[in-house]
Chains A and B, each alone.
Chain A
Amino acid sequence: MDVSSHKQDKFFIVRVSGRLDATTSPEFEKSCLEWIGQGESMFIVDMKELEYMSSAGLRSILVVGKKIKSEGGTLAFTSLTPNVNHVFSISGFGSMFKVHDSLETALKNS
């Protein structure tokens, strides 16, 4: 898994690629919590290159989401791959979080 980030307008774009599972999700969680600690609040997670997400990955998203919510920020997801989309829709994450087809629509609608 690789996590990278950049700022675009007021949004903080997090790009995550590879596998988000029990092994890698603690790193993802830690990076995101650090960014929140640095004052970032408008998160958009770009999952264009995320191949797989396990329940551990979902949990780390919950942790990050809860933290952002408590800081008064927003969290949205874009460009879900079919695998991840399936996990999102089954688990109900799709209805709990904002999910966009592309980064452009995410930037426009958030």
Chain B
Amino acid sequence: MRSRTIAFKLVVFTLSGTMAIFVSAFACVYFSSKASMMRYVEMNARNATHAAAYQIESVLRGIEKVPLNYAALLTSGDCKPAALAMLPEQMVSTNPEIFGAAIAFEPGASGPGSLYYAPYCYRGKNGGLKNVMLGNESYDYFTMDWYQIPEQLGRAAWTEPYYDEGGGNETMATFSVPFYKVLQGKNKFQGVVTADVALRGLKQIVSSTRLNKSGYSFLITRNGVFVTSPDSTLIMTNSIFSVAEEKHSALLRRIGRKMIAGGEGFAALPKGLLYPGKCWLYYTPLPSIGWSIGIVTPEGVMLADVLRFSRMVILIGLLGVCLMALIVMLIAKRISKPIKDLSATTLEIARGNLNATLPDIHRGDEIGALARSFEDMRVALKDYIENLTQTTAAKERIESELKIAGRIQMSFLPKAFPPLPGKTPVDIAARLEPARQIGGDLYDYFLLDDDHLFFTVGDVSDKGIPAALFMAVTKTLLKGIAEKGMSPSEILDKCNLELIGGNDSMMFVTLFCAILDLRSGRLRYSNAGHEHPFILRREGPLETLPIPEGFVLGVNEDAGYQTMEVELKPGDRLIVYTDGVTEAVNGAGEFYAHQNLISVLESCGSLCAEGIVSRILDSVKTFSSGVPQADDITLLAVSLTGPKL
């Protein structure tokens, strides 16, 4: 995956966090505002419904009062029917809410012989009042609801709405109040005083009652029949129950029952019942007439405010998020820019430019701290590298000096060819392989006179420069001390005393030295703490040369060196070595040891001095196979080739 920048990550993390917070806050706001909007809508609907109900009620109460008053008047007084004929007109003309009014008498109650007597006044189409007498064969008002119901109930009552064919020719509801004549303490029904209310008037009140343009309101009677509704096909022909039946809605039926039972409520309706979409219905009763008024409000319209509000919130939120992204990006850039600069500079430092100037080291924040750390690191690195350069230079100087010292050391060892003057009957070979550039081993050989060869092999304690110096001193001393006529032990004694002087560091050297008489083959030798040499006779087994006791050179004044003798015949070879040979180590940590040396020597047969030295060295190198040499290796082989000519 591609690595992203800090700015990108910061923007992503911040924005996803913000978005999550925003979405949850929005959801909270949306649902709570929706709930409060619903409460608000319900309250509005209730208020509007109550207002309409109150308005209708007051109209109806106003209408009711009129016939009630006249009925009371008629019951108490003894009015002449002839005088009564003007009463309906009086009722209608003084009460604008009343569409028509009548006083309808029982047969004979208005006077003997008359069956019908019912003066009626109503408002004509042109607005003028019309007076008619009701009652004939085609309009037998005794069978009408408005006449029968109050008679039967014995009290005032509203009729269901009806179309008054032959009367006012108008859809109306009538409030009828019975009036009586008191005969022998009993009320005798005399007729009814009626007041009509035209539904047109109520319709105006009801239809003006709605919460918004899309909503509407309706009125149903105590039987559930629609009195007013925007759908005129329902009016007077359908009831809320027939609509419920048609739509198979138990809910609407339940609501209808509650409505006609005088209940009040707020209910959600699914789409298609009273409105094409989802809607809410608030209903309340009109107690006087027993009807119920309902206000239908589409949910979409109700929630329009909430939706608008939500859209606004979302828009503000999105704008906020964009703005935030921009700000976070700027902040992130601001933060990451110094890091980028720092990174570029450190990269430059990493590539080796230790003089690169680090930016921002004066800042007080974490970047500044980081920059200062880098600055410290740069300075430390620079110092370190300068130091290292100097050290390396010094070390190289020392190395080269050591190399030169090593060359000098090697150069004052005698060379193999030409080892000795041409006619000397001696075959001699020697090799010194220092473990480091300079070593502490030594060998030397030279003629004391024509017939005497002096040779020596030594090993200075420890290694390195002190050992090399001590070796040089020893070798020089020996060269100076060894003279014709001296025995090897005398040479060692003298050399020992010379070395002891001022040897506080307790350096010492083990040394084997010998003088070979080239005429007789007599070998006289002495030893200062050195390893046993070997003699490889021309014939016979390998011999270990017995050596006299003698302490290492340079420590003890009373070392007491002794000289011993052995005879070498032509072809016999004496091999002297240092412990670098026997103490060579292989990969397993084992020593080369005497056993290996002995077996190599036993395999040498009649090899010459050089051959023996080479074979031993090869064997040691093969044995140690790559393990760094720990100690100087020195080998010297000498043999008498024959009596001097």
A residues contacting B by CB (< 8 A) are 21-22, 52, 54-56, 58-59, 62-63, 66, 90-93, 95-96
Contact = CB atoms under 8 A, between A and B. Distances in A.
**Most chain-B Cβ atoms within 10 A of its Cβ — which of A56, A90, A95?**
A90
Given A55-B579, A90-B532, A92-B529, A62 B463 contact: no
**Most chain-A Cβ atoms within 10 A of its Cβ — which of B460, B463, B529, B556?**
B529
Given A59-B508, A92-B549, A54 B529 contact: no
A93 B552 CA distance: 8
Contacts of B529: 90-93
A95 B461 contact: no
A91 B507 CA distance: 13
B596 to A, nearest CB: 15
Contacts of A55: 459-462, 508, 510, 579
A22 B462 contact: yes
Contacts, number: 56
A52 B556 CA distance: 24
16 contacts: A54-B631, A55-B579, A56-B462, A59-B461, A59-B507, A59-B508, A66-B506, A90-B510, A91-B529, A92-B550, A92-B551, A92-B552, A93-B529, A93-B552, A95-B549, A96-B556
Contact of B510 (A21, A52, A91, A95): A91
B565 interface: no
Nearest to B594: A86
A69 to B, nearest CB: 11
A59 B461 CA distance: 6
Minimum-distance CB pairs A-B, first 9: A92-B551, A91-B529, A55-B461, A59-B461, A62-B506, A56-B462, A63-B506, A92-B529, A91-B552
B555 A62 contact: yes
Contacts of A93: 529, 551-552
Interface in B504-542: 505-508, 510, 528-532
A21 B552 CA distance: 17
Nearest to A25: B462
B330 to A, nearest CB: 64
A69 B461 CA distance: 21
B531 A90 contact: yes
A37 B208 CA distance: 122
Contacts of A22: 462-463
**Most chain-B Cβ atoms within 10 A of its Cβ — which of A52, A66, A91?**
A91
Q: Interface on chain B toward A: helix, strand, loop, or mixed SS? A: loop
Nearest to A62: B506
Contact of B559 (A58, A66, A92): A92
A87 to B, nearest CB: 8
B610 interface: no
A96 B462 CA distance: 20
Contacts of B498: none
Contact of A91 (B463, B551, B583, B631): B551
B461 A96 contact: no
A96 B551 contact: yes
Interface in B472-516: 505-508, 510
Contacts of A66: 506
Nearest to A95: B549
Contacts of B462: 22, 55-56, 59
A58 B461 contact: yes
A40 B463 CA distance: 30
Contact of B508 (A52, A62, A90, A95): A62
Interface string B137-164: 0000000000000000000000000000
Nearest to B440: A55
A58 B631 CA distance: 15
A17 to B, nearest CB: 15
Contacts of B505: 63
Contacts of A90: 510, 529-532
A66 B551 CA distance: 15
A93 B549 CA distance: 10
Contacts of A54: 579, 583, 631
A96 B536 CA distance: 32
Nearest to A67: B506
B327 to A, nearest CB: 67
B532 A58 contact: no
Contacts of A21: 630
Nearest to A59: B461
A71 to B, nearest CB: 15
B560 to A, nearest CB: 9
Interface in B454-473: 459-463
Contacts of B631: 54
A21 B551 CA distance: 20
